[in-house]
Structure 1
Amino acid sequence: MEYSIKKIAELACLDIDPVHYEEFAADFDEIVEMMSELPEYGCNDHIPEPMELRDDAAGNTGCAEELSKNAPEFVNGCFTVPRTVEY
């Protein structure tokens, strides 16, 4: 398979030292080989039913006191965090 390690690194925003290009190429070849062994599904192939998920239910678990122990600051029943955006 023809590919350029430098181009792959650019596309994936990876900072790979040229000294490690051969090592990366070997790893990349292994990944491509593993992917080629995966089964292919066509448009009409049967795909198994997805797993059933439980219904989410919001509720008060009564553990606010326990959670507040780990918070640096807890005001009026809410976690507070430092401001991250300056106006």
Structure 2
Amino acid sequence: MTAEVACWCCGRSRPESGVVRLGSHPEVAVCLSCAHYLHQQARGREDALRPSPGARVRDVGRAIRRQVIQHGWQHKPVIGPVLRWLGSRMP
């Protein structure tokens, strides 16, 4: 049986194959979900520092994502699966 590792971000236990480790600090393990979230946050900060047409498009996408989550549309029976599929493929 594979040992479980606690994510330093959310605290959930994951198998070693379900986490990434920081290069200079191998004791730090972050689950894949949190790693994706951190990447999105980093991209948002980069976009704020260096505005460009691509950054503006990503800002609009992030605003749409916030609205969907705020209204809970991702849980609707018909449109929810489509929104979740799109959300997993957006930068």
- TMscore range, shorter length: under 0.3
Which has the larger helix fraction? 2
After TM superposition, the score normalised by the length of structure 2 is 0.24
Please identify which structure carries the higher strand content. 2
Structure 1 length normalisation: TM-score?
0.25
Higher relative contact order (CA 8 A, sep 6+): 2
- Report the structure number with the largest CA radius of gyration: 1
